[in-house]
Structure formats: structure tokens, C-alpha cells
């Protein structure tokens, strides 16, 4: 697991997700977020459910309800996927849906179903990410 130290991430952790941005991406906008989103760098695999197409990608932001994945050719909005995230020796997966897509940038996914055994891993990562960002900002 690698924590980003980029100043842009520290002071505006969701800079990827501006409403109506210049890249043509669709965004949920910060006013619709239910929980904080943290900078979190980890390896991920995205598996499209209908065709079993697999894409290796990288998580750059994580929240309790979803994440942002860096990739050049993201799936279209509404695509159902299985997201698998690994950081260190921990592993998380959730059935998810692409909620916004930015060509040459990445995709935002919302977690639809998380099995009970994976929830504590996600919560631990978020706790560590939150503490790490508080220490750097404050």
C-alpha cells in the first residue's frame, strides 16, 4: 500500500471528479457523497460481469461506498463489474457498478454488494488512510 503525498491530493482529494470537467466525464459531484473519500493507492482488477473481460488497474481514491480507478479505457457508465483490490497482504472485493467514466483518466465505481468478510478490510484501510491524511495536513 502506498500513500500519495501529492499536494493536490492532500488539499483536494477528489480533484478527478469535478462536475462537467474539461475531459467530458460525468461526476456524482461532492454534494452527493455519503462518506469521505481518501487518497489510497493499491492494485486492482476489474472484471466485467457479462463478458468476463478483465482489466488490471489502480485504485487512487477509496471510500466506504466506492472508489476511483485509474485506467485509459474505462467501461461505460452502468456496467456491472467485480472490483478486486489488494494492498499489502489484504484483499477486498465487491460487486460494483461504473457510475462515471472519463476516457484516458479512469472510472468511479460504487460498491453494490460487499460480502461480510471483506467489510472489516475496507474499514481498516479507510481508518489508516484517514489517519495518514490528518497527520500530513495538520
Tens-digit pLDDT profile for residues 26-38: 444 444 557 788 9
> Mean pLDDT across the chain, nearest whole number?
80
pLDDT over 90 (residue 53) = yes
Give the number of C-alpha atoms closer than 13 A to the C-alpha of residue 99, restricted to the C-beta side: 17
pLDDT of residue 91: 96
pTM value? 0.73
> Is it the case that residue 55 has pLDDT exceeding 60?
yes
Render 29-53 in DSSP notation, one character per residue. -GGG-SS--EEEEEEEEEEETTT--
Q: Please give the class, per CATH, of domain 7-137.
A: mainly beta
Give the integer Cα–Cα distance in Å for 95 and 64.
14
Q: What is the pLDDT of residues 72-97, one digit of tens each?
A: 999 999 999 999 999 999 999 999 99
75: its cell numbers: 467501461
pLDDT tens for 98-119 read 999 999 999 999 999 999 999 9
In this prediction, residue 133 carries a pLDDT of 75
Cβ atoms within 10 A of the Cβ of 53, count? 12
Q: What is the pLDDT of residue 2?
A: 39
pLDDT of residue 13: 40
Amino acid at each position: 500500500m502506498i500513500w500519495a503525498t501529492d499536494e493536490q491530493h492532500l488539499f483536494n482529494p477528489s480533484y478527478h471528479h469535478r462536475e462537467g470537467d474539461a475531459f467530458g466525464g460525468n461526476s456524482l459531484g461532492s454534494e452527493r457523497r455519503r462518506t469521505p473519500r481518501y487518497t489510497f493507492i493499491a492494485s486492482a482488477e476489474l472484471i466485467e460481469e457479462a463478458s468476463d473481460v478483465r482489466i488490471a488497474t489502480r485504485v487512487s481514491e477509496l471510500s466506504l461506498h466506492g472508489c476511483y480507478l485509474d485506467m485509459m479505457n474505462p467501461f461505460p457508465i452502468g456496467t456491472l463489474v467485480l472490483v478486486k483490490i489488494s494492498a499489502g497482504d489484504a484483499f477486498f472485493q465487491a460487486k460494483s457498478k461504473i457510475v462515471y467514466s472519463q476516457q484516458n483518466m479512469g472510472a468511479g465505481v460504487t460498491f453494490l454488494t460487499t460480502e461480510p468478510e471483506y467489510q472489516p478490510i475496507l474499514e481498516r484501510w479507510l481508518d489508516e488512510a484517514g489517519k495518514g491524511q490528518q497527520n500530513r495536513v495538520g
